[in-house]
A = this chain, B = another copy of it.
C-alpha cells in the first residue's frame, strides 16, 4: 500500500470545496486533511503545531487574506509548503507572480476536474504541474521574452511604486477624488496631486482611468 497524500483545500466557496473533495475521493492515494474558507484560516491552520499537509490547494480571491498574502507568509516564515493555485484567473502576470512566490502548480477552475488529481500527485512528488491553458500562456510569454530586439520591452521596466503611491492608487481606483483622498490619508490636497502626477509618470498612463485599469489588472484593488 502506497503512502497517502494529505491535502488541504482553501477556497471561500464551500460548495467548490465539496466538489474538489468529491473529485479527489475517486482516488485512493489522496485524502483531504482539512479545509479553510479564508486566507487567515490557512495561515492559522499551518501555524498550529502538528498540522501539516503534503499539498495545499489554494484559491487566490479569499476574504481577510488572499492567496498572495498566504504565500508571502509562507516565505517570510520560511515554511516549505507545496502549493497548487486553483484560480479562475489565467492572467500571465498573476501566474508569474504566483510562481515567483513559490507555488508549484497552477490550474484554472475551468478544467480543474480533469487536472486536480494529476496535479496533486505531481506536486507531491516535487514536480511542477500546470493545466493546459496555463501551460499555453506560459509558453507564449516565454517565447515573447526572446524578442529579436534583444532589449527588454517597456512594460517589463515598470518603475516601482512607493507605499504612499500605492495607498493613493488604491483610493483613486475606489473612485475617490483628491480632496477625499487627502482627507482619508490626512494629507494636503496638493500632496495627493503630487502623488497622482508621479503615478501617471511612473505607470506611463494618460489619466486616472489608466491608473484604475492598471490597479485592476494587477490586483491592487
Q: How far is the CB of A191 from chain B (nearest CB, A)?
A: 19
Stretch from A46-54, A70-78, A109-117, A133-141 that touches the partner: A109-117
Q: How many chain A residues touch B (Cβ–Cβ < 8 Å)?
A: 35
A213 contacts partner chain B, Cβ-Cβ < 8 Å: yes
Interface residues in A163-186 by Cβ distance below 8 A to B read: 172-173, 175, 177
Stretch from A8-16, A96-104, A122-130 that touches the partner: A8-16
Known: A13-B88, A88-B13, A217-B216. A18 touches B113 (CB 8 A): yes
In contact, A175 and B209 (Cβ under 8 angstroms): yes
Interface of A is mostly: helix
Known: A209-B209, A212-B213. A15 touches B113 (CB 8 A): yes
Residues of A within 8 A of B (CB): 12-23, 86, 88, 109-113, 116, 172-173, 175, 177, 205-213, 216-217
